[in-house]
Structures are given as C-alpha cells and as structure tokens.
Amino acid sequence: MTAVEDAVPDVTSAPEPSPVIEISDVWKLHKLGDEVVKALISAELTVMPGEFVCLMGPSGSGKSTLLNIIGGLDRPTKGSVLIAGRDTARLTESQFAALRHDTIGFIFQSYNLIPFLSAVENVELPLMFEPYDRKALRQRALELLDLVGLSHRVHHQPTKMSGGEQQRTAIARSLISNPTLVLADEPTANLDHRTGETVVRMLRDLCSTLGVTVVASTHDPTVADEASRVVRMRDGQIIN
C-alpha cells in the first residue's frame, strides 16, 4: 500500500435507514346506501425515522382516515401499508394488534385518560396487565411524567388537571412501550394557543431527543410550524 493509500481512512458507509411508514396507492371507500364515498384516493406517503410529519387539511379531507389506517384502527379498501417494514395486509388481527402494541403509541384529541386513575397509573395502563416488573414499570412511568414536566402531578387524577396537563399525560402514556412511531389525532384541538404550542414543541422534541417518529393530523397551523414536513390533504387526496 502506498503512503497516499495509507493516509486515506477506510470509511464504510452506514446503511440507509428504512422507512417507518410506506403507503402506496391506498384507497378507502365507504358505501352509504347507493352512494360510494371516497375517504382516501390513491394515497402515497413515506415517513422516515425521526420525522415529525403533519397531516393538514379541512374536515373531511381524509387525514384522520389515513392516520387510522396507519395505526391499524381501520383497514384500507385497497393498497399497500408497510409499518416498520411489515406488510399489514399480511397480518392477522392478532398479529397487527401485537405490532401496534410494540411499535405505535397513540395520542387522542380527547386525551382518553381513565378518570379514576392517577396520572402515573394512566401512563402505566398500556402495560399494567402484562408480565412486567411492577417497580420497573412505575419507575418508567415516573421518568416519562418527568420528561413531560409533570413530576409534581403524578398522583393527581385527570379531573384535577388542566387540559394541557392531561394531554402531556397522554403523551407520556404513548411512550410507555418505547414505540418507534407516535400517532397524534388533533393533539391541540382542545387546548388554548399557548398550551397548544407547549404540547407541539414537546412532540417535536420527541423526534430530536428520543428519535421517535411522529405523525399528527391537525387543523392547527402551530403544529405545521413545528413539523419537519407538512402533508396537505383535500377531498381524500394528498395534494403535495
């Protein structure tokens, strides 16, 4: 080997990351009497690890339908949906449920907290009835509540918390199983502007600090401002 060759470092390029979501030609049709409603029309979307993608459009644009199909809460009429490289069309309901449990966290517009449970118990809930070490689960839940700035509210029930605190509790709950992907349906819809900004920045920080991929459906331009990419929808179609 020559002196010049000795001076050149042996650099092995890292493999390209695989998409977290791959959607190809996805349609969702609903039959209402004699009429066929096209909720989604030939949707195409690829989302890479660590992205914060905002699905934006008016009511009826298809963004919630697309989010539900990504999360396995609904099935497409036709088309291909791959989550973490797995073709969901080839999965049974129980297999899809297992994929959803291990890979996807959900944040809902209405928070979906259990009113008689404390914040920490709500965060633990997705794993509460599984064979996890109870002390380790409690510690994980406490760490997540601290991450979202609620270490002072761990024993409060949702009725004793503000809307923003409830949504932050829901964010912590969505992370309890270490998901690759978090899906948020109108995460700021029930919050005032300032609280909504706080919640959106928290979602953005999940991507940058934890490497979680976030896809959120919204009408709120605040969410779009913080997202790494905005996907606009209208009449069941992705238009950009």
200 neighbors 187 (Cβ within 8 angstroms): yes
CA diameter of the chain:
79
Which residues lie across from 35 on neighbouring strands? 32
Q: What pLDDT, in 10s, does the model give residues 194-220? A: 899 999 998 998 888 888 999 999 988
Model confidence at 10: pLDDT above 70: no
Beta-carbon contacts of 97 under 8 Å, excluding residues fewer than 6 positions away, are: 72
Report whether pLDDT(76) > 80.
Answer: yes
Q: What is the pLDDT of residue 34?
A: 84
Distance CA 116, CA 113 (A): 9
148 located within any domain? yes
Domain-located, residue 96:
yes
80 found inside a domain:
no
Taking phi over 0 as left and psi of -120 to 50 as alpha, with beta for the rest, 130 belongs to beta
pLDDT at 109: 86
What would the two tokens of residue 226 be? 């913080």
175-197 confidence digits (pLDDT tens): 999 999 999 999 998 889 889 99
Strand partners, 21: 47, 83
Residue 215 in domain:
yes
For 59, which DSSP code? T
Residue 29 lies in a domain: no
Query: Is 204 inside any structural domain?
Result: yes
Is the model's pLDDT at 24 over the cut of 90?
yes
Domain residues for the domain of 130 are 48-75+91-235
Give me the number of domains the chain comprises: 1
Task: Give Cβ neighbours of residue 88 (< 8 Å, ≥ 6 apart).
Answer: 72, 75, 81, 82, 96, 99
Q: pLDDT by residue (tens digit) across 65-74?
A: 999 999 998 9
Q: What is the pLDDT of residue 78?
A: 95
CA distance 65 to 40: 7
Q: Is 83 helix (H, G, I), strand (E, B) or coil?
A: strand
52: in domain = yes
Per the CB < 8 A criterion, the answer to whether 52 and 203 are in contact is yes
Supply the pLDDT for residue 15.
73
Closest by Cα among 173, 128, 127 to 154? 173
The fraction of the chain above a pLDDT of 90, given in percent, is: 65
Tokens of 230: 């905005």
At residue 1, does pLDDT exceed 80?
no
The pLDDT value recorded for residue 5 is: 55
At residue 233 the predicted structure's pLDDT band, cuts being 50, 70 and 90, is: very high
Q: Is residue 136 part of a domain?
A: yes
Q: What is the spatial distance between Cα 166 and Cα 186, in angstroms, rounded to a whole number?
A: 14
User: What CATH code is carried by the domain that includes residue 147?
Assistant: 3.40.50.300
Overall average pLDDT of the 14-22 stretch: 86
